[in-house]
Chains A and B, each alone.
Chain A
């Protein structure tokens, strides 16, 4: 598809439809990274060991950095970072509900498995953007992909060890049963899906990505002695949760999380989020 799709040019060159499609592609990408990072940071000083604490905090930092890369492209269309995140309403967020769910107390298996399900999806999504017709996205995909390798390795190293003995594997299985339906929301299309594909903004459909994702995670989790609610032919044996996130509808956990991470911003009447880093375009 991308071979035929014309180069969309810069933000100022887009028609209304093209711009809406680019935004619809970017917003879920940015929000997924941001909200997952937010949840990961809850493990800071609470992870099983100092080493695993540093590793997951570092992954959270990576994801925040990726979120900024994508939010920055949304800022091209006139909104500031404050308007996109801190002053936005909770319902403007388009992340999949997988990333907003709270972790059970000390449920490390959940954090690791969630990371695995998400990182495998993200890897597929980023590869589907390598041939994008929107050059501003193309410029940033490589940077994000190199950091994702560590995340996948991290998740797999942990998973294989967590599944080493029975009681521990049972906890991973419980997390899988709980998270799997929510993981499917990663692949929920928006009304712009057709335009995104026609314009070559993304070169693979979410439906195809879901098939590829299943054919990766199912044999791998199987090999660890886990049972994935999907058939070998790729038929999913679980129902989508009520709230899928991509359409702006979220679980009851989202407003609480949103209010928590915007708390300081509101409390201090900041008006503008403090920045530690330069704009990605100036680096």
Chain B
């Protein structure tokens, strides 16, 4: 009988799979695993699990994550620094201003946009 072995390097860390042992029962599996998997690397704890109790689904049977582009899911963390609160506040203010401008009427906004674009173009032209 095959027992899959999971090692935890230090208290609080995850148990990660590190191999297996052949043993007739759990007690013997734990005894063998100590020597085979806990002797040469730092070990705080070992789990043994009957191999046949482990369920598996693999990439041949399913498409993990779906088939459409969901690369946004790959973002594991948000970049934050000390200024993040201020940036959020600034962005909030910007949105509020935009809302107010909206309410003031579309025609005014269009004019303002044209002016801004014109000003940029002039600046660019000068620096070139």
* Interface set of A (CB-CB < 8 Å, partner B): 49-52, 54-55, 58, 150, 153-154, 157, 161
B34 in contact with A51 (CB, 8 Å): no
Count of chain A to chain B residue pairs whose CB atoms are closer than 8 Å in the complex: 26
Is chain A's binding surface mostly helix, strand, loop or mixed?
helix
Q: Bound state CA distance, A153 and B23, in angstroms?
A: 15
A-B contact pairs, 8 of them (CB 8 A): A51-B22, A51-B23, A51-B36, A52-B32, A54-B35, A55-B32, A58-B35, A157-B27
**CB-nearest residue of chain B to A54:** B35
Q: A51 is contacted by which of B27, B32, B39 (Cβ under 8 Å)?
A: B32
Q: Tell whether, in the assembled complex, residue A58 and residue B21 are in contact, meaning their CB atoms are under 8 Å apart.
A: no
Chain B window 15-26, contacts with chain A (Cβ cutoff 8 Å), 1 for yes, 0 for no:
000000111100
- B24: chain A residues within 8 A (beta carbon): 161
List A contacts of B35 (CB < 8 A): 51, 54-55, 58
Q: How large is the interface on B (under 10, 10 to 19, 20 to 34, 35 or more residues)?
A: 10 to 19
Within 8 Å of chain A (Cβ to Cβ): is B90? no
Beta-carbon nearest neighbor of B27 in chain A: A157
CB distance from B18 to the nearest CB of A (A): 15
Identify which of B22, B23, B39 contacts A58 (C-beta below 8 A).
B39
CB distance from B84 to the nearest CB of A (A): 51
Nearest Cβ in chain A — how far from B2, in angstroms?
A: 11
Give the residues in chain A near B101, CB-CB below 8 Å.
Answer: none
Q: How far is the CA of A54 from the CA of B23 in the complex (A)?
A: 13
Which of B24, B28, B35, B39: most chain A CB closer than 10 A? B35
Distance between Cα atoms of A58 and B32 in the complex (Å): 11
Q: How far does the alpha carbon of A17 sit from the alpha carbon of B34 in the complex, in Å?
A: 44
Contact B36 A157 (CB under 8 A): no
B31 part of interface (Cβ distance < 8 Å): yes
Chain A residues near B21: list those with CB within 8 A. 51
Instruction: Give Cα A50–Cα B20 distance, bound, in whole angstroms.
Output: 12
- A50 near B22 with CB under 8 A, answer yes
* B residues 1-58 touching A (CB-CB < 8 Å): 21-24, 27-28, 31-32, 34-36, 39
Determine if A157 and B31 form an interchain contact, defined as CB atoms under 8 angstroms apart.
yes
Please state if B22 and A55 are interface contacts (CB–CB under 8 Å). Answer: no
Instruction: Provide the residues of chain B in CB contact with A58, threshold 8 Å.
Output: 35, 39
Given A50-B22, A51-B23; A157-B39 close (CB under 8 Å): no
